[in-house]
Amino acid sequence: MASGDEFGVGLGDAASLAVLLGPLALLAWATGLPVLLPSLGPSAYALVVRDRPWRPLARELLLGQVVGVVVAFAAVRTLVGPLTGLDLLAHTATGLHQVAAVVVAVITATVGMTLLDARHAPAYATVLIFTLGIPGRAIDVLVFCGGVVCLLCLDAARTRLAAA
Q: Write down the H helix ranges in the chain.
A: 4-31, 40-48, 54-79, 93-115, 123-131, 138-163
- Phi, psi angle pair for 55, to nearest 5°: -60, -50
Q: In the chain, what are the domain boundaries?
A: 4-163
Per this entry, what is the length of the chain? 164
User: DSSP characters for 2-23?
Assistant: --HHHHHHHHHHHHHHHHHHHH
Could you read off the pLDDT tens digit of each residue along the chain, which spans 164 residues? 566 677 667 899 999 999 999 999 999 999 999 999 999 999 999 999 998 899 999 999 999 999 999 999 999 999 988 876 665 667 888 888 889 999 999 999 999 999 999 999 999 999 999 988 888 889 999 999 999 999 999 999 999 998 88
Question: pTM for the whole thing?
Answer: 0.90
What is the rounded CA–CA span in Å between residue 45 and residue 40? 8
